[in-house]
C-alpha cells in the first residue's frame, strides 16, 4: 500500500474533493477529524492544553473551544508551536494506527487528508503522490468571507497565514482546480481516482513489506534455533 497526501488552502475546496474521493471508494484518513478526536476531555492532549492554555479555551460543556484556541495561536507563534508539540504526536500515532489497519485489509493505497501537509512537512517523505486542491485567489477570498462570515481584512489575514496556493501547486504531483463548477471538479477527481486505481505502485511497497517481514521472521527463527539446539 502506498500513501497519497491530499491538501489545499483555507476555502479552496479540499473537503469537497475529499468527499468525492470517499464516495468513489477511496480509503481516506482525515487528519482534521483525528485532531478533534485527540483533544477530547478523556485524552492526554486535552489535559496538556488545559494546563498550558487555561480554562479560557474551554466550552461550557468542558470541551475545547476551537475558535478561541485558534484565536490564541493565530496571534502568538510560540503558543502555536506549543500546541503543535502537544497535538501532533498524538495525531501521528492515530494516523499510523489507521494506516496499518488499512494495509492489513489489503488496500492498494490510502489518502491522507492533511490541511497543513506542506506547512509541517512531517509526512511528505512518506508519500508516493501529493494532491493540491487549488482555486484562484479571488474565488478563495470570496468563499472564505461567505463561509465564515468574515470581513475582507479578516479573510485576507487567514489566507496569508498559510503557504500560498500557488506555491503548494508547485510542490504537488497532482492538482485539482476547484475554481469552476462542481461538475468540472468532479471530472478532475474521477480522472485522479482512475489513475490511482490503475497504478501498480502498491506492488513494490507490498513486496518490500513482505520481504522485511520475512527477513525479520527468518532472523528470529535462526536465533531461537541456536538457543534451543
pLDDT digits (tens, 9 = 90+) for 175-200: 999 999 999 999 999 999 999 988 76
- Phi and psi, residue 206, nearest 5°: -65, -40
Distance (Å) of CA 22 to CA 26, 27, 51, 130: 5, 7, 37, 17
Contact yes or no for 173/216 (Cβ under 8 A): no
Residue 74 binned pLDDT confidence (cut-offs 50, 70, 90): confident
Residue 208 binned pLDDT confidence (cut-offs 50, 70, 90): low
Residue 87 CB neighbours (<10 A): 19
Q: Could you tell me the three cell numbers for 29?
A: 484518513
Q: For 117-174, what is each residue's pLDDT tens digit? A: 998 888 899 999 999 999 999 999 999 999 999 999 999 999 998 999 999 999 999 9
Contact yes or no for 151/64 (Cβ under 8 A): no
CA distance 80 to 178: 29
Amino acid at each position: 500500500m502506498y500513501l497519497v497526501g491530499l491538501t489545499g488552502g483555507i476555502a479552496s475546496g479540499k473537503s469537497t474533493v475529499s468527499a468525492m474521493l470517499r464516495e468513489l471508494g477511496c480509503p481516506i484518513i482525515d487528519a482534521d477529524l483525528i485532531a478533534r478526536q485527540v483533544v477530547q476531555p478523556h485524552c492526554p492532549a486535552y489535559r496538556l492544553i488545559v494546563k498550558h492554555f487555561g480554562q479560557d479555551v474551554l466550552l461550557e460543556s468542558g470541551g475545547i473551544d476551537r475558535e478561541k484556541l485558534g484565536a490564541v495561536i493565530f496571534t502568538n507563534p510560540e503558543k502555536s508551536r506549543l500546541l503543535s508539540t502537544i497535538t501532533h504526536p498524538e495525531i501521528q500515532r492515530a494516523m499510523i494506527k489507521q494506516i496499518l489497519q488499512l494495509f492489513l485489509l489489503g488496500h492498494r493505497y490510502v489518502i491522507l487528508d492533511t490541511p497543513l501537509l506542506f506547512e509541517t512537512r512531517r509526512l511528505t517523505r512518506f508519500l508516493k503522490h501529493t494532491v493540491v486542491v487549488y482555486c484562484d485567489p479571488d474565488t478563495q477570498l470570496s468563499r472564505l468571507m461567505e463561509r465564515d462570515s468574515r470581513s475582507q481584512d479578516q479573510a485576507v489575514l487567514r489566507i496569508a497565514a498559510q503557504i500560498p496556493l500557488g506555491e503548494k501547486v508547485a510542490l504537488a504531483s497532482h492538482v485539482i482546480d476547484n475554481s469552476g463548477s462542481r461538475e468540472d471538479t468532479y471530472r478532475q477527481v474521477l480522472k485522479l481516482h482512475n489513475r490511482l486505481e490503475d497504478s501498480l505502485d502498491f506492488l513494490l511497497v507490498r513486496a518490500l513489506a513482505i520481504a522485511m517481514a520475512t527477513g525479520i521472521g527468518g532472523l528470529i527463527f535462526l536465533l531461537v534455533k541456536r538457543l534451543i539446539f
